[in-house]
A and B are shown apart, each in its own frame.
Chain A
């Protein structure tokens, strides 16, 4: 069912746009959780004659990216009692426009790169677009928690590209990747929690004590 896969990929890109356009922290987290859910469904849609491997990947991805990490981030928001706005350095409208540019660039790049035949048409551009938008969020949002969301999107994009190799690269590898993302974001979350307690704000723009004098 390649059509279903394309639809899922499209939704993945749209959720990226939700993160770019939303003003609320909680929407950001919900969007990235939804993206994780979509990512979990993708292996099943791409490789429908589901072997155990595919199912394991799907379940693992959903558990980590759609449930555990978003829950943890929401916990951090609640516990740290942060302000619920995103407070970007680049305006929302401009972010959305640049997001469109990113998608266009991703499609342009991936039509230029010679792909192995087996790869689905939309997978590579969607992956590149998600990577670029994730990086963009990471750079232009000053709130630490949103930066974590951006990082998650970046990882999601990398994961999407990794899906082109599900058949060739063994399961252990993907498990390792998932685990790394999990632990990475977990540690980031804990640091975020401390940042808030120390600075009374999650704004990483306030982290300016360390400079070259």
Chain B
């Protein structure tokens, strides 16, 4: 277990809440407002931590467990990603499947918790969330398959590690398409515009937010943190795919990771300010486009 990987994990866990702050600030600046403080989510988390919890009488242990599972799975998934650009904390053949399903497990529990409240409102949010996830999953897997084909390595640690450095010069178009596809998946998984709108408070348009409406206090803080961590995770994937850092010194690699994450956050902010949220019925189309991109990349890599 390398030290730089551990430091990377710590950095990711620490930086995660900053990303949504940066995205929000970018959006505010582009639309001519001053915007909330960059560290807003940290304050929110601290505030929620101090508050009490209210549990509805209909809820069971599932409801209480869900936030913990969410954060735990996201953190575990983070161990599979080579954060310093060299190797991951945990790495085995086919671990990208584990990565996808760890995140799916977290989502599964969140959905169960939403159904556990017995409110049709949360149920609606849950069903929407699952719909989005169902369309995002093929895109994610196709992108992984493309990475595997490009690098010949069956684990995330390898695919985003050293072999990728050699793969880029030979397969620029395919890897560019994979990157684009991963970015679209990031927007969907991170509940950002154009798939979802983290700022909306109109029930009819909410997806993720409406699902977690019943959580409060520290539980809600965990859910917020879990969401931020997921966004950061996908950001780390993206940075790993775009900037292979196997050749850099570990410290430099981590610095690039943080800078890259901040860049992704700015990009998300820009996207949020120039596009409108899609109608719900158009979301599958959006994610199918992401899948199509990744599938094209796979085809290109297959016939290489």
Give yes or no for direct A-B contact (beta carbon below 8 Å).
yes
Q: Out of B284, B292, B302, which one reaches A17, CB within 8 Å?
A: B292
Stretch in B29-37, B148-156, B293-301 touching the partner: B293-301
CB contact under 8 A between A10 and B300, given known A23-B282, A96-B285? yes
Knowing A13-B296, A103-B296, say if A97 contacts B173 (CB, 8 Å). no
**In the complex, which of the residues B292, B299, B300 contacts A96, with contact meaning CB atoms closer than 8 Å?**
B292
B285 touches A93 (CB 8 A): yes
CB distance from B292 to the nearest CB of A (A): 5
Q: Which residues of A contact B303 (CB under 8 A)?
A: 107, 111, 121, 125
Interface string of A120-160 (1 = CB under 8 A from B): 01000100000000000000000000000000000000000
Residues of A within 8 A of B172 (CB): 3, 7
A202 and B300 alpha carbons, distance in the complex (Å): 37
Which residue of the partner chain A has the closest CB to B303?
A107
Chain B residue contacts of A107, Cβ below 8 A: 299, 302-303
A93 to B284, CA, bound (A): 7
| A17 touching B299, Cβ below 8 Å | no
Contacts known (A6-B173, A7-B173, A23-B282); A104 close to B299, Cβ less than 8 A: yes
Q: Is B259 an interface residue, CB under 8 A from the partner?
A: no
Verify B299–A103 contact, CB threshold 8 A: yes
Q: B194 to chain A: closest CB distance in Å?
A: 13
Q: Which residues of A contact B284 (CB under 8 A)?
A: 93
Contact of A96 with B289 at beta-carbon distance under 8 Å, contacts A13-B296, A103-B296, A103-B299 already known: yes
B216 at the interface (CB under 8 A from A): no
**A21 interfacial contact with B, CB 8 Å:** yes
Interface string of B242-264 (1 = CB under 8 A from A): 00000000000000000000000
Give the distance in Å from the alpha carbon of A10 to the alpha carbon of B295 in the complex.
13
Q: Is A92's CB within 8 Å of the partner chain B?
A: yes
B140 shortest CB reach to chain A, Å: 16
Determine if A93 and B288 form an interchain contact, defined as CB atoms under 8 angstroms apart. Answer: yes
Check if A92 sits within 8 Å of B285, measured CB to CB. yes
CA distance A104 to B303 in the complex (A): 10
**Contact string against B for A residues 18-36, beta-carbon threshold 8 Å, 1 for contact and 0 otherwise:** 0001010000000000000
Question: Which of chain B's residues has its CB closest to A13's CB?
Answer: B296
Residues of chain B within 8 A (CB-CB) of A104 are 295, 299
Q: Which chain A residues numbered 167 to 185 have a C-beta less than 8 Å away from chain B?
A: none
CB distance from A92 to the nearest CB of B (A): 4
> Would you give the shortest CB distance from B185 to chain A, in whole angstroms?
15
Q: Which residues of A contact B (CB under 8 A)?
A: 3, 6-7, 10, 13-14, 17, 21, 23, 91-93, 96-97, 99-100, 103-104, 107, 111, 121, 125
B: residues with CB less than 8 A from A are 135, 172-173, 177, 282, 284-285, 288-289, 291-293, 295-296, 299-300, 302-303
Q: What are 23 A-B pairs at a CB distance below 8 A?
A: A6-B173, A10-B173, A10-B177, A13-B296, A14-B296, A17-B289, A17-B292, A17-B293, A21-B292, A92-B285, A92-B288, A93-B135, A93-B284, A93-B285, A93-B288, A96-B285, A96-B288, A97-B291, A99-B292, A103-B296, A107-B299, A107-B303, A111-B303
A100-B296, A111-B303 given; 8 more Cβ-contact pairs under 8 Å:
A91-B285, A93-B284, A96-B285, A97-B291, A100-B292, A100-B299, A103-B295, A107-B303
